[in-house]
Structure 1
Amino acid sequence: MCDHGADSEYESLPETTSMGVHLMAGALAGIAEHSVMYPFDSIKTRMQVIQTNPQAIYTGVMQAASHIGHTEGLRTLWRGVNSVILGAGPSHALYFATYEYVKDFLGGNRDNGSHPLASALGGASATVLADALMNPFDVIKQRMQVQGSTYKTISECAIQVFRSEGLGAFYVSYPITLLMSIPFQSIQFATYETCRKFLNPQDLYSPFTHVVSGGLAGTIAAAATTPLDVVRTMLQTRGQSTDPRIQRVSGMTEACRLIYERKGIGGFWKGIKPRIISHAPSTALSWVTYEYFKWLIGTRPAE
């Protein structure tokens, strides 16, 4: 392992690093982020789905984890993770590379100052492209996470969803995904860059700074966008529901109306705790992994 001291010239990297480095670092960061905290994402999905079965209604993170563990086995919490791993690498590579390009184009790397607008626009631009790639994988993931899912593999799930609901099933949630992800990523990137500059004004290599800034950014972004995530979950899992009205939901407006009708305003905040528990450490892990590999790959001498 190379000895990378805290006084290393870290922030000079974005100006000299190739796009390939950002792609590889982003891919590694995405896989690490989604894999480690996946069980909490499974719990969040279970809590957001509208259920008529009393035994499938979860009131808290620990209660949900305990119930799932005792009735279905703890391995159930990892069902569908392969879909995330398969999609997260290329999608994160794409959005980190796009983020770096747009941020630099808008002057976000100038003067070593804080440029939250450039960071926010970079994050929003990156999200449009990355979510188009990731959305089908996310649909497959949530179809495998819901209670009663019988899919054994992601390919089986993809084929059956396509045969029974068509290609549109993989993108019915794309508008709400963008509506959620653009503010999520904008808040995340702006918060991260602002905190990083505040905690580390000298722009030295500091994993502690990346962890703290990433965790805070993930917490704020996840909490603020939870209502949109609830709507997205309904759209992506409608085909697994036994409720005819949920099965017929065709868009954001109808999903919002049904959630409010069944659960009230509180229904839009279902799963906020596991969502924050999942996103805070996973976002911190994503950023520290991304920054480290970007630095490591970019500064490694040629063989």
Structure 2
Amino acid sequence: MEQRDTLLHLFAGGCGGTVGAIVTCPLEVIKTRLQSSGVSFRAFYVPQVHLGTINGGSVVRPTAVSPGLLQVLKSILEKEGPRSLFRGLGPNLVGVAPSRAIYFAFYSKAKELFNDTFVPNSYPVHMCSAGFAAFITNSLMNPIWMVKTRMQLEKSARGTKQMNAIQCAKHVYKTEGIRGFYRGLTASYAGISETMICFVIYETLKKHLAGLRLSSSSGPVHEKATTDFIALMFAAAISKGCASCIAYPHEVIRTRLREEGSKYRYFFQTARLVAKEEGYLAFYRGLLPQLIRQIPNTAIVLSTYEVIVYLLGSRSK
């Protein structure tokens, strides 16, 4: 029975992650470009800024501004073509199913263990379970995410041949060795806080929704309606949105660490450089496409997971 439940969670988590990755890939590419240090601010000058001089004359200096979501989207479409919006989808599809499967399987197993240690289904249980599952998943999957990020950051003119996932992996190994595949791992560990916050909020909302349904339902409580899954999607969206806003800076640091040939070496060194050279607002570059991507993505992943677990779980009983 335990083995069947584990396989069920593996399958449900994998399906949810795959659907979410395909739907939201273009937004992830835009987000990654915005997070990187390679975004050309010079292409987004605001002209006609007049500055006074000592002799009373004036000079015109362009003022660099941060490019927005639509500007980066337009730049990618014009210079690289629509296919570039799906850069990194290959390793994403290769990695997202096993990563989500591993995550949900370890999360489910950890909840069983921590329920015996803490008050069952309490905040410490959800936080520890989410943190443990995220640590295992990040450690195992970082090489794939590293290749995905490198592919998303690669810029090439429209019509030119771009590296595929295997070529990119070979290039990383040739230039940086095995250690190159684990760049950004420390930032991923820092991002565990986002996962923990997300699941604490999600489980709290889910428990609240279950209580409302129990008090208002006149039919059998074991039967789930379509409205229940819609409510779960909203719960997932709210929880991910809150968590992303709180813990977002680690994503910018992780992207910088994964850039090829960059000056960024370690987590705190990267944080200091970004703050010194670009200001603290730079830690939130790409937040808008991240929220637009992650909120529906998380809603899709978690609701698909819940639906599959419910449907397959109920049929096997």
Q: CA deviation at 1:261?
A: 2.3
Q: CA deviation at 1:114?
A: 5.6
d(CA) in 2 for partners of 1:99 and 1:209?
A: 22
Q: CA deviation at 1:59?
A: 2.0
d(CA) in 2 for partners of 1:160 and 1:275?
A: 28
Aligned to 1:146: 153
SS of 2:37's equivalent in the other structure is coil
Aligned to 1:162: 173
CA deviation profile, 1:266-287 (whole Å, cap 9, x unmatched):
1111111111111100000010
Aligned to 1:55: 43
CA deviation profile, 1:174-219 (whole Å, cap 9, x unmatched):
1111111x11110111111111111231375321121011101111
d(CA) in 1 for partners of 2:204 and 2:4?
A: 22
For these two proteins, the number of residue pairs brought into alignment is 279
Aligned to 2:199: 189
d(CA) in 2 for partners of 1:73 and 1:151?
A: 12
d(CA) in 2 for partners of 1:72 and 1:55?
A: 15
State whether structure 2 residue 112 is matched by structure 1 residue 125.
no
d(CA) in 2 for partners of 1:283 and 1:114?
A: 21
d(CA) in 1 for partners of 2:108 and 2:200?
A: 13
Aligned to 2:290: 275
Aligned to 1:291: 306
Residue identity matched to 1:179:
A
Aligned to 1:236: 258
- In structure 2, the CA distance between the partners of 1:212 and 1:15, relative to structure 1 (3 Å rule), is farther
Aligned to 1:226: 248
Q: CA deviation at 1:32?
A: 1.6
Do 2:88 and 2:148's aligned partners in 1 also have CA atoms closer than 8 Å? yes
Q: CA deviation at 1:301?
A: 4.3
Residue identity over aligned pairs, in percent, reads 28
Bigger Cα displacement from structure 2, 201-210 vs 135-144: 201-210
Aligned to 1:213: 235
Unmatched runs of 5 consecutive residues or more in structure 1: 1-13, 240-246
Q: CA deviation at 1:16?
A: 10
CA deviation profile, 1:105-131 (whole Å, cap 9, x unmatched):
2229x99x8622211111100001111
Aligned to 1:200: 210
CA deviation profile, 1:221-276 (whole Å, cap 9, x unmatched):
1111211110000001233xxxxxxx242211221122112211111111111111
Aligned to 2:92: 84
SS of 2:128's equivalent in the other structure is helix
Do 2:252 and 2:285's aligned partners in 1 also have CA atoms closer than 8 Å? yes
d(CA) in 2 for partners of 1:172 and 1:142?
A: 11
d(CA) in 2 for partners of 1:170 and 1:78?
A: 21
- In structure 2, the CA distance between the partners of 1:81 and 1:199, relative to structure 1 (3 Å rule), is same
SS of 2:259's equivalent in the other structure is helix
- In structure 2, the CA distance between the partners of 1:254 and 1:16, relative to structure 1 (3 Å rule), is closer
Pairing 1:172-183 to 2, within 5 Å after superposition: 172-180=183-191, 182-183=192-193
Residue identity matched to 1:228:
H
Q: TM-score, with normalisation over the residues of structure 1?
A: 0.85
Do 2:21 and 2:96's aligned partners in 1 also have CA atoms closer than 8 Å? yes
Do 1:114 and 1:197's aligned partners in 2 also have CA atoms closer than 8 Å? no
d(CA) in 2 for partners of 1:249 and 1:301?
A: 51
- In the alignment, which of 17, 32, 37 is matched to residue 30 of structure 1? 17
Bigger Cα displacement from structure 2, 52-61 vs 191-200: 52-61
d(CA) in 2 for partners of 1:58 and 1:156?
A: 32
- In the alignment, which of 30, 41, 49 is matched to residue 43 of structure 1? 30
d(CA) in 2 for partners of 1:147 and 1:95?
A: 29
